[in-house]
């Protein structure tokens, strides 16, 4: 339903009708007072969420097996981060939407070499037990093919043993077991967080390597599942503890609950869910921004006239009936 | 004083142009009115100012948190209280903003040349979500670790992750504390000035009958 | 408050925390109340034509 030019002209014209007294500064002051009282009250009564940060020390101490196994995956290049693709490495092309490979096109701008950045370099930067030092030296002096062969063999054997590396079948694993044990011990001591963060520097604020390594194992994931923060349980909207989360993200979180986006195996939509969902949300946001000019959407307030409630006093005083 | 200057000088001076435009579009009477049209008589109209009030609480508590640093509230009970002020300020901010948005939609408040007001409002909404997101990332607790881990996938998938790194707390902290509040503040001021300039939108059925 | 939250499951895929549900219900309540509650002071003192003041 198109509005008439006359109605539009009326709405654009500065108001020349009846007015009422209105104290804008007083209104602002009262608003600040009321909201501040509410905020202070809620803060005193409920506090705020603050679940303690996870550390590599915590991971290696509570689940050393998983930490060890993940270390081997980093060396074998089978971890999530090792196969991620841009912006960290070229191991994969990342996600695409038809002919659009935005992830790949943006390039590897934040290189992370899972094997060296997450395992070999941090281990090399600290004081080691003799057997670990020897193993590390053996690794470094071997060819890349040999390194990969050792690590892959061990990774496969561990997988065959359902993650129990102590039950891994026989094989030529070279220095990999000693390296994995070495890093596990470093993690248990508490120094791995700093080693991964600093990369040998004094100043650093980039936690990327830590986050990637964390996410490759189960420690972070399990904690998130326990707190109901996984994407497919509306986790984007949730908060730790019994606190309200981000209800305003409902329209973004929604798509992660819906097929085919829920199935990572389902190509192309499920396998590239993160990319498609970003664009769906972009489209919906665009619709919200452009609602005033979208036919159908812009006429909803006229067709469902809640406005009669908002302006009921004025309509009654001026005796204005509903305009069709 | 200005009337003594000849017209040619007035029309070319940048200062005069700005001053005249300002006086034309947003005279002090419009900026600080003591009346409103008689139809501005509904409780729905308070949600804009309530949103701004909540924003004020967020800024004040945020400034205290900035001064004391991001780790303060983990070990100080006063710090935790200030963090709570910031947290509940944000919750109320979004509650009031969304109710304000609903009100403006059902009023079709974009009418009469007010599309820009609607648009700046939506952009403010989006900027608020971005500001909140970066805020959650700098909590330096488990929640921020998880959010960084998950969010990077969304941004990486569309190429934005190549230059916006949710896992770089230094970058995110500066964006949250400096860049986005400034952007949000500017958009909010623009939004409010547009409302003052154009006036509150008249009721949908208020236009005189006839001439359809 | 730092204990696990309670989640309400509406369907197999639709669940929400109690806290988030309260927030949403509060918003709906505020909107409804704002629309239905009478606003004081209209058509009484203070109501005049624009330009009348001063």
Q: Look at chain B and report how many structural domains it folds into.
A: 2
Residue A74 falls within a domain, yes or no? yes
* Cβ contact A20–C3 (<8 Å): no
- What secondary structure letter does DSSP report for C44? S
List, for residues A19-74, the tens digit of each pLDDT value: 999 999 999 999 999 999 999 999 999 999 999 999 999 999 999 999 999 999 99
Confidence at residue B210, expressed as pLDDT on a 0 to 100 scale: 56
Burial class, A296, CB count within 10 angstroms (exposed 0-12 / middle 13-18 / buried 19+): exposed
Q: Does residue C51 belong to any structural domain of this protein?
A: no
Q: Is residue A136 part of a domain?
A: yes
pLDDT digits (tens, 9 = 90+) for B16-34: 999 999 999 999 999 999 9
ipTM, two decimals, is: 0.94
Q: CB distance A307–B73 less than 8 Å? A: no
Contact A17 B38 (CB under 8 A): yes
* Residue B130 three-state SS: helix
A27 — contact with chain B (CB < 8 Å)? yes
Chain B, residues 43-102, CB within 8 A of chain A, namely 44, 46, 49-50, 52-54, 56-57, 73-74, 80-81, 83-89, 91-92, 94, 96, 98
- Give the pLDDT mean for A237-243: 96
Which of B93, B118, B135 is at the close of a domain?
B93
Residues B120 and B89 occupy one common structural domain: no
Which residues constitute the domain of residue B47? Answer: 40-93
Residue A118 in domain:
yes
A66 near A163, Cβ under 8 Å? yes
Structural domain includes residue B133: yes
Phi, psi (deg, nearest 5) at residue C28: -60, -40
pLDDT tens digit string along A244-253? 999 999 999 9
Domain shared by B138 and B89, yes or no: no
Query: Are residues B188 and B114 both part of a single domain?
Result: yes
Mean per-residue pLDDT over chain C, rounded: 83
Q: Is the pLDDT of residue A299 over 80?
A: yes
Same domain, B194 and B114: yes
Range of the domain at C26: 7-36
CA distance B163 to B128: 21
Find the mean pLDDT for residues A210-236.
Answer: 96
Q: Is residue B8 part of a domain?
A: no
For residue A73, what are the domain limits? Answer: 56-226
A199 touches chain B (CB under 8 A): no
Contact flag A86-B84 (C-beta cutoff 8 Å): no
**Where is the domain boundary, B31, B65, B93?**
B93
pLDDT tens for each residue of B165-202: 999 999 999 999 999 999 999 999 999 999 999 999 99
- Segments of B25-120 assigned E as strands: 35-37
Calculate what percentage of chain A has a pLDDT beyond 70: 99
Kindly state the tokens that stand for B12.
Answer: 């070319």
- Three-class DSSP labels, chain A: CCCCHHHHHHHHCCCCCEEEECCHHHHHHHHHHHHHHHHHHHHHHHCCCCCCCCCHHHHHHHCHHHHHHHHHHHHHCCCCCCCCCCCCCCCCCCCCECCECHHHHHCCCCCCCHHHHHHHHHHHCCCCCHHHHHHHHHHHHCCHHHHHHHHHHHHHHHHHCCCCHHHCCCCCCCCHHHHHHHHHHHHHHCCHHHHHHHCCCCCCCECHHHHHHHHHCCHHHHHHHHCCCCHHHCHHHCCCCCCCCCHHHHHHHHHHHCCCCCCCCCCCCCCCHHHHHHHHHHHHHHHHHCHHHCCCCCCHHHHCCCHHHHCHHHHHHHCCCCCC
Number of compact structural domains in chain A: 1
Put simply, whether C42 touches B (Cβ < 8 Å) is yes
Contact C3 A15 (CB under 8 A): no
Helix (H, G, I), strand (E, B) or coil at B186: helix
Contact assignment for C49 to A306 by CB distance below 8 Å = no
Confidence check: pLDDT of B77 > 70: yes
Interchain contact C2–B (C-beta under 8 A): no
Question: What's the pLDDT tens digit per position in A89-136?
Answer: 999 999 999 999 999 999 999 999 999 999 999 999 998 899 999 999
Nearest by CB: C39 against B34, B43, B95: B43
C-beta atoms of A49 and C1 within 8 A: yes
pLDDT-based confidence at B39, cuts 50/70/90? Answer: very high
Cα Rg of chain C, angstroms: 22
Q: Nearest-CA residue of chain B relative to C42?
A: B41
A31 vs B contacts (CB less than 8 Å): 46, 49-50, 52-53
At residue B212, the pLDDT reads: 41
Question: Quick check: A308 and A320 in contact, CB under 8 A?
Answer: no
B113 and B170 together in one domain: yes
- Chains in contact with C via at least 3 Cβ–Cβ pairs below 8 Å: A, B
Chain C neighbors of B103, CB-CB under 8 A: 31, 34
Is there a domain that residue C41 lies in? no
Structural domains of chain C, count: 1
């Amino acid at each position: 339903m198109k509005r008439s030019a006359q109605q539009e002209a009326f709405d654009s014209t500065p108001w020349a009708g009846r007015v009422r007294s209105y104290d804008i500064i007083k209104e602002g002051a009262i608003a600040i007072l009321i909201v501040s009282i509410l905020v202070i009250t809620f803060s005193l009564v409920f506090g705020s969420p603050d679940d303690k940060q996870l550390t590599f020390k915590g991971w290696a101490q509570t689940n050393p097996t998983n930490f060890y196994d993940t270390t081997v995956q980093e060396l074998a290049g089978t971890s999530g981060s090792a196969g991620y693709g841009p912006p960290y490495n070229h191991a994969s092309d990342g996600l695409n939407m038809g002919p659009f490979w935005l992830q790949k096109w943006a390039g590897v701008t934040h290189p992370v070499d899972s094997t060296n950045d997450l395992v070999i370099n941090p281990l090399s930067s600290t004081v080691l037990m003799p057997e670990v030092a020897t193993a590390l030296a053996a690794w470094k002096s071997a060819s890349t093919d040999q390194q990969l062969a050792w690590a892959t063999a061990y990774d496969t054997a561990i997988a065959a043993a359902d993650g129990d590396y102590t039950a891994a079948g026989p094989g030529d694993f070279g220095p990999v077991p000693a390296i994995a044990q070495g890093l596990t011990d470093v993690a248990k001591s508490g120094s791995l967080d700093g080693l991964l963060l600093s990369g040998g520097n004094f100043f650093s604020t980039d936690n990327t390597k830590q986050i990637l390594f964390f996410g490759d194992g189960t420690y972070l994931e399990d904690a998130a599942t326990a707190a109901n923060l996984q994407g497919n349980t509306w986790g984007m909207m949730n908060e730790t503890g019994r606190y309200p989360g981000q209800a305003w993200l409902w329209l973004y979180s929604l798509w992660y609950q819906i097929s085919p986006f829920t199935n990572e195996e389902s190509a192309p939509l499920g396998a590239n869910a993160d990319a498609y969902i970003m664009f769906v949300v972009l489209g919906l946001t665009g619709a919200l921004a452009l609602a005033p000019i979208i036919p159908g959407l812009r006429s909803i307030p006229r067709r469902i006239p809640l406005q009669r409630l908002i302006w009921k006093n004025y309509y009654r005083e001026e005796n204005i009936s509903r305009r069709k | 004083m200005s009337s003594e200057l000849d017209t040619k000088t007035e029309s070319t001076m940048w200062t005069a142009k700005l001053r005249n435009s300002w006086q034309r579009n947003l005279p002090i009477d419009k900026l600080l009115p003591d009346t409103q049209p008689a139809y501005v008589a509904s409780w729905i109209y308070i949600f804009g100012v309530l949103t701004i009030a909540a924003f004020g609480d967020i800024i004040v508590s945020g400034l205290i948190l900035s001064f004391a640093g991001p780790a303060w509230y983990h070990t100080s009970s006063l710090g935790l209280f200030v963090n709570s002020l910031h947290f509940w300020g944000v919750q109320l901010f979004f509650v009031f903003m969304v109710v304000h948005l609903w009100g403006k939609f059902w009023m079709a408040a974009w009418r009469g040349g007010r599309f820009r007001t609607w648009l700046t409002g939506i952009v403010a909404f989006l900027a608020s979500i971005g500001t909140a997101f970066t805020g959650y990332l700098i909590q330096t607790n488990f929640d921020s670790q998880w959010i960084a881990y998950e969010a990077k996938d969304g941004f990486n998938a569309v190429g934005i992750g190549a230059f916006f790194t949710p896992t770089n707390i230094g970058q995110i902290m500066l964006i949250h504390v400096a860049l986005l509040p400034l952007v949000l503040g500017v958009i909010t001021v623009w939004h409010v000035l547009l409302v003052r300039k154009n006036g509150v939108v008249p009721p949908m059925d208020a236009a005189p009958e006839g001439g359809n | 408050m730092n204990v696990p939250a309670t989640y309400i499951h509406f369907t197999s895929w639709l669940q929400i925390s109690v806290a988030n549900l309260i927030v949403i219900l509060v918003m709906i309540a505020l909107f409804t109340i704002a629309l239905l509650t009478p606003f004081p002071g209209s058509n009484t003192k203070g109501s005049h034509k624009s330009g009348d003041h001063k």
